[in-house]
Amino acid sequence: YYDFVKEIIEADKSNNYEKVLPQEGSAQENKMRNVLVLRELGVPQRVLFSLLISNNHAYGGKEKFKESLKKVVDMGFDPTTSTFVHALQVVQGMSEKAIEEKVNVCKKIGFTTGDVWK
């Protein structure tokens, strides 16, 4: 992953993303596409670093990523914070039902929905 991350960082500095676009349909291409979307949204590079080096395959599907991103934005998370990427990882990695069940458990023990997502 080192070379991949290094290429992205260098391309980010020069705004030349074409040279780092990996083979179409690959996991790296999906990750790169999603990282570029997040950069356009204003997510800082330092926040994206954990995403770049993760082995999380939840970022693969274009439509799933798009839906999850919309959900996280609609929930009011600030794209300039690491909490935004963490919330995106949670939404990407769990079904709607699983998230709802976990939030309900937290509410039963006294947390608000806002507390759960902080």
- At 76-88, the pLDDT tens digits run 899 999 888 888 8
* pLDDT tens-digit series, residues 52-64: 766 655 455 788 8
Among 14-23, 45-54, 63-72, which range has the highest average pLDDT?
63-72
The residues, any chain, with a CB within 8 Å of residue 118's CB and separated by 6 or more, are: 83
Instruction: Please state the rounded mean pLDDT for residues 40-60.
Output: 73
Residue span of the structural domain in which 105 resides: 2-117
The pTM assigned to this predicted structure is: 0.69
Percent of the chain, pLDDT > 70?
69
Structurally, the chain folds into a number of domains equal to 1
Using the predicted structure, report yes or no on whether residue 41 has a pLDDT greater than 70.
Answer: yes
